[in-house]
């Protein structure tokens, strides 16, 4: 049974007895790069190469990648999160329960670590982390970024970060004003040629999830990439112009809706003022806890949701927005919940979490301040 907590922009899963799944390694990076070059020529995009990193899909609730910190690298599984900025990791100075049974970063065993002991603290909706900042080398697959600022946790109250695999967090927000994300540093240090990264998020807990830095992976999508501009200094926040249920406009976004594109949120978050009407239109029932559920056997006949973004119609079928829970015989939970704000910048406020992002190949283009969505191959 999956439970979902909202931690600000993060929606984390609490799961028990999870087995660590080995990473699927991309066999031939050079071959992929060759492919990418061909594709990019075709697509008239100038990127020359991309660096691939396999991600682990944790019960369709969170996606983790293996990251090395320090020299020699100490390895951790970090939650890859486009909805926050900071890269932080459990450290040997952390005494919280959440740090138990996790690998802990020991800066005294890294020859490249520097720190002026500046404190940091991040508050999420229902959890927080505190510690101090340092700089060190970060290794992601074939990529090496030197002098990346990282947070070393000293305190992680509660059990939000206690779950398996969560050794820390890799913030990938769009040009945050007060912090250089690892992508900002990759660009500054010239380790990627194009300021772009892209996600393929697998479904049904399957392996094969992947993020590419410096390019896109043509084997994961087909057709064109539909681009939507994002606002400066935002968490990949975009404005879109329409929302349909069963190909009928709801009118809710006719004057614009705003949405954050967030790999770190598990579900699709809808403006709270529309959650009930939306589920009524979809024919959902409420269970004894007040959660919206669907008949598991009727998921394939549910109406599609359509987001109209910069002219493109992006469809989300029932199989995407209903959580298929193997334990449950007849009722399946809705993958749509209320966001924590009705409006942002005057527009109804959505968060496009993994429920949405699994349906598309998603491209985060920092250079051109836009997000792209393409149909999966
Ligand atoms: C740490 O790295 C950041 C970039 O992530 C850089 O701006 C800062 O100057 C570095 N600090 C030190 C002390 O090198």
Q: What is the CATH number of the domain that holds 108?
A: 2.40.70.10
Q: Is 311 helix (H, G, I), strand (E, B) or coil?
A: coil
CA of 148 to the centre of ligand 1 (A): 6
Ligand 1 atom with least separation from CA of 148: 5
The reply to whether 181 falls in a domain is: yes
Top mutation candidate among 69, 135, 186, 188 for ligand 1, by most atoms within 8 Å of CB: 135
195: in domain:
yes
pLDDT (tens digit per residue) in 40-67:
333 333 334 688 899 999 989 999 999 9
Nearest CA to ligand 1 atom 3: 149
The verdict on residue 11 lying in a domain is no
Active site residue 262: yes
Helix (H) or strand (E) segment spanning residue 163: none
Residues 162 and 290 in one domain: no
* Ligand 1 neighbours (beta carbon < 6 A): 114, 135, 147-149, 180, 185
How many beta carbons lie within 10 A of that of residue 320, not counting itself?
A: 21
pLDDT tens-digit profile of 220-251? Answer: 999 999 999 998 777 899 999 999 999 999 99
In a domain, 357, yes or no: yes
**Same domain? 92 vs 181:** yes
Q: Whose alpha carbon is nearest atom 7 of ligand 1?
A: 180
Q: Which one from 60, 81, 184, 365 is the annotated catalytic residue?
A: 81
Q: Which of 112, 114, 149 to mutate to test the pocket of ligand 1 (most atoms within 8 A of CB)?
A: 149
Of 136, 167, 217, 262, the catalytic one is: 262
Q: In the listed set 141, 169, 200, which residue is the last one of a domain according to the structure?
A: 200
Distance 11 CA to ligand 1 centre (A): 29
Residues 357, 282 share a domain: yes
Overall number of domains in the chain: 2
Contacts of 50 (CB under 8 A, 6+ apart): 32, 33, 36, 192, 198, 212, 213, 214, 215, 216, 217
Q: Flag whether 213 is in a domain.
A: no
Torsion sign over Cα 148, 196, 376, 266: positive
Strands 370-376 and 336-338: unpaired
Co-location of 259 and 134 in the same domain: no
What does each C-alpha distance from 372 to 38, 236, 364 come to in angstroms?
19, 11, 7
- Residue 290's φ and ψ, nearest 5 degrees, are 85, 5
Contact of 53 with 212, CB cutoff 8 Å: yes
CA of 285 to the centre of ligand 1 (A): 52
What is the 353 CA–ligand 1 centroid distance (Å)?
30
SS3 46: coil
Q: How far is the CA of 220 from the centre of ligand 1 (A)?
A: 35
Between strands 336-338 and 268-270, the pairing is parallel
Select from 169, 200, 231 the last residue of a domain: 200
**Beta-carbon count within 10 A of 80 CB:** 24
What percent of the chain is modeled with pLDDT above 90? 72
Are 240 and 184 part of one and the same domain? no
Cβ proximity of 107 and 70 under 8 Å: yes
Domain extent for 183: 19-46+55-200
CB contact at 8 A, 133 and 122: no
pLDDT digits (tens, 9 = 90+) for 150-189: 999 999 988 878 878 899 999 999 988 888 999 999 999 9
238 and 194 share a domain?
A: no
Beta strand 336-338 pairing with 331-333: unpaired
CA-CA distances (angstroms) from residue 289 to 8, 219, 282?
A: 22, 42, 19
* Shared-domain flag, residues 229 and 289: yes
Pocket probe for ligand 1: among 134, 147, 151, 176, the residue whose CB has the most ligand atoms within 8 Å is 147
pLDDT-wise least confident of 184-198, 250-264, 314-328, 350-364 = 314-328
Q: Is residue 7 part of a domain?
A: no
Closest CA to 242 of 225, 229, 257, 227: 257
Q: Are residues 156 and 247 in the same domain?
A: no
Q: What is the pLDDT of residues 107-150, one digit of tens each?
A: 999 999 999 999 999 987 657 899 999 999 999 988 999 999 99
Tens-place pLDDT, residues 269-306: 999 999 999 999 999 999 999 999 999 999 999 999 99
**Is residue 244 located within the same domain as residue 299?**
yes
Q: Whose CA is nearest to atom 8 of ligand 1?
A: 149
Q: How far, in Å, from the CA of 64 to the mean position of ligand 1?
A: 25
Catalytic, 81? Answer yes
The verdict on residue 24 lying in a domain is: yes
| 114 CA closest ligand 1 atom index | 13
Q: Is residue 205 part of a domain?
A: no
276 plus 153 within the same structural domain: no
| CA–CA separation, 91 and 105 (whole Å) | 4
What is d(CA 283, CA 372) in angstroms, rounded to the nearest whole number?
Answer: 31
> Do residue 237 and residue 164 come from a single domain?
no
Query: Does pLDDT of 31 surpass 80?
Result: no
Each residue of 80-113: pLDDT tens digit?
999 999 999 999 999 999 998 899 999 999 999 9
End-of-domain residue from the set 170, 200, 230? 200
If asked whether residues 228 and 166 sit together in one domain, one would say no
């Amino acid at each position: 049974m999956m439970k979902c907590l909202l931690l600000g922009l993060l929606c984390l899963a609490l799961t028990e007895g999870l087995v660590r799944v080995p990473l699927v390694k991309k066999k031939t990076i050079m071959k992929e790069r060759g492919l990418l070059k061909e594709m990019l020529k075709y697509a008239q995009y100038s990127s020359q190469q991309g660096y691939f990193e396999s991600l682990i899909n944790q019960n369709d609730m969170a996606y983790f990648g293996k990251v090395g910190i320090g020299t020699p690298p100490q390895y951790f599984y970090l939650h890859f999160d486009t909805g926050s900025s900071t890269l932080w990791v459990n450290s040997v100075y952390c005494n919280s329960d959440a740090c138990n049974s996790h690998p802990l970063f020991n800066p005294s065993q890294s020859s490249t670590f520097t720190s002026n002991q500046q404190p940091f603290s991040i508050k999420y909706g229902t959890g927080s982390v505190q510690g101090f900042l340092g700089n060190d080398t970060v290794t992601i697959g074939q990529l090496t970024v030197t002098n990346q600022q990282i947070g070393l946790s000293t305190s992680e109250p509660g059990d939000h970060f206690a779950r398996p695999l969560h050794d820390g967090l890799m913030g990938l927000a769009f040009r945050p004003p007060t912090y250089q994300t690892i992508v900002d540093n990759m660009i500054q240090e010239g380790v990627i040629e194009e300021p772009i990264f892209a996600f393929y998020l697998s479904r049904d807990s399957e392996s094969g999830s992947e993020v590419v830095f410096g390019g896109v992976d043509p084997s994961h999508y087909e057709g064109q990439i539909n681009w939507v501009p994002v606002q400066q200094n935002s968490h990949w926040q975009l404005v879109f112009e329409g929302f349909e249920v069963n190909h009928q406009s709801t009118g809710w976004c006719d004057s614009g809706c705003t949405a954050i594109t967030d790999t770190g949120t598990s579900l699709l978050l809808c403006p709270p003022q529309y959650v009930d009407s939306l589920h009524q239109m979809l024919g959902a029932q409420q269970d004894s806890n007040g959660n919206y559920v669907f008949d598991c056997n009727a998921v394939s006949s549910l109406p599609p949701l359509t987001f109209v973004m910069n002219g493109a119609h992006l469809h989300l079928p029932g199989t995407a927005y209903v959580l298929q829970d193997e334990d449950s015989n007849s009722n399946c939970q809705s993958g749509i919940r209320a966001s924590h704000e009705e409006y942002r910048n005057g527009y109804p406020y959505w968060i496009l979490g993994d429920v949405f992002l699994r349906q598309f190949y998603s491209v985060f283009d920092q250079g051109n301040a836009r997000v792209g969505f393409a149909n999966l191959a």
